[in-house]
Every structure is written in structure tokens, then in C-alpha cells.
Amino acid sequence: MAEGKLVTIPIFYIVETDTVKYQKGELGDALRKKEREVGDEQIKKWEKAFKSVCNYIGFTFDGKRYNCLPSS
């Protein structure tokens, strides 16, 4: 992954950062299903990107206006 070229501020909208980082739940199911179409190499790139973006400080929003908290 190219680092230092773009500014990324992740916003986790109604999803926990661990769900994204470790591809759990519906996200993980969708990735496994998509693997048949795009292949293992592409899935590995996406998994690496998901893990990488979760290491940035971003925002977690659970759908309630008053409860938008920075995540790390």
C-alpha cells in the first residue's frame, strides 16, 4: 500500500472497528462470497487495506447523533 500520499480519515458508520479490522459478521461473509469472483489475491489486498485503515484514528458513529466518538 502506498503510504503518505493521501489523507485518510476513516468513518465507521454503524459498524465496530474490530468488525472491519478482522472482517467479522456480514462483512466477512460478503468478502468470502466475493472471493469466488475476484480471487484470493484481491481479497488479501482488501483484507490488508481494512486492517491498515483501522490503525488510523477515525470516527465511530453508531447511528445516534450525540454518540460520535473518535476511535483508535
Average pLDDT for the chain: 80
Is pTM, for the whole model, over 0.75?
no
3-state secondary structure the chain: CCCCCCCCCCEEECCCHHHHHCCCHHHHHHHHHHHHHHCHHHHHHHHHHHHHHCCCCEEEECCCCCCEEEEC
Q: Please give the domain boundaries of the chain with CATH numbers for all domains.
A: 11-71 (3.40.50.10140)
pLDDT at 56: 75
Q: Give residue 41's pLDDT band: very low, low, confident or very high (50, 70, 90).
A: very high
pLDDT at 45: 93
Q: Give residue 26's pLDDT band: very low, low, confident or very high (50, 70, 90).
A: very high
